[in-house]
Amino acid sequence: MTLSTAIDTNSAKLKRPKPAVSAGTGKVGVMLVNLGTPDGTDFKPMWRYLREFLSDPRVIELNRAIWYPILYGLVLTTRPKKSGANYARIWNRQKNESPLRTFTRAQGEKLAQMLGDQPNVVVDWAMRYGNPSTASIAEKLVGQGCDRILAFPLYPQYSATTTATANDQLFRALMKMRAAPAVRSVPPYYNEPVYIEALARSLKQHLARLDFEPEVVITSYHGIPKPYSDKGDPYQAHCLETTRLLREKLGWSEKKLITTFQSRFGAQEWLQPYTDKTVEKLGKEGVKSIAILNPGFSVDCIETLDEIGREVAETFHHAGGEKFAHIPCLNDSPEGMAVIEAMVRRELSGWV
């Protein structure tokens, strides 16, 4: 027996590895990802949602040893009831869900139709917090034969508290997959011409339907704690640039279209000027009519429909204001879907 024969004989006795199982059949998944929503307005679903949301270290950067006693000892014992009452006012009774889920689903369904010319593209939608979870939809897409996924965090302006958390959650899901798909993430689109055009067109259309012309129009963005911005989060700069470009598109002055920040939480300083304080100041100064739009939200939700549409409106009226209008988000409107389709088709380049 020669040496080569011995090697061949011994090799034949070794257990040969099984051939690799294909991760998919060459399909591409497109996943729209929004912030999240509770499953109901009662205490328990609100508690679950708020716990997941407020436990994210990118959302609350306090040391866990300091934050968790506050979260579990105070916030989660009081806030679910209050937040549940707010959600109840805007709840989609017909579908028994929040408007954010209704609109995000509609965006996913319409995008799937718009991408009908791409038979190998599968479209779905997910939530960063709540259901349907990012992990469940990632697994669903892989199960449908997708070996590549384009994630679309539905936040025009980047922040570590939003876009980054959505990407974090997707990669956590991939960490548990033996055969993980390749992934891309749609970048922030705060200055994209298609987005600015959509905002301008939507704003003009809604203003034309009002029985008054607002003296001031406010672009109100969800705020973040000022220390986050001081550490390098580009969110504030992105918001200001969106407003500047929109103002330029409309041909308006800096007094006509202004920027504010809403939805602050806790005792620390957040990005200013604050929306509620600004609206109150305008009313006291004699401004009688205003309109507010929310360019940082891809769909209407609790922060736009209840916080702006009810709370801020009441603040303005109590301060002497008379005419108030909330401009809907782009939602699944033709303008809004044009933005989503344009961004998705661009980022799918090379994959389809």
Q: Residues annotated as binding site for Fe(2+)?
A: 222, 303
Contact 108, 123 (CB under 8 A): yes
H or E element in which residue 275 lies? helix 275-284
The CA distance from 92 to 114, in Å, is 26
Which 3 state secondary structure label does DSSP give 30?
A: strand
Contact 54, 75 (CB under 8 A): yes
The CA distance from 32 to 126, in Å, is 6
Q: Which residues are annotated as a binding site?
A: 222, 303
The CA distance from 7 to 15, in Å, is 14
The CA distance from 99 to 90, in Å, is 7
Cα–chain center distance at 1: 70
- Ranges of beta strands (E only) in 172-252 are 182-185, 216-222
Which 3 state secondary structure label does DSSP give 232?
A: coil
Contact 38, 45 (CB under 8 A): yes
For residue 335, the one-letter residue type is E
Task: Tell which residue, 349, 336, 241, 235, has the closest CA to residue 32.
Answer: 336
- Ranges of beta strands (E only) in 77-231 are 121-130, 146-153, 182-185, 216-222
The CA distance from 9 to 272, in Å, is 76
The CA distance from 115 to 314, in Å, is 42
The CA distance from 184 to 147, in Å, is 12
Question: Sign of the C-alpha dihedral, residues 292, 316, 305, 205?
Answer: negative
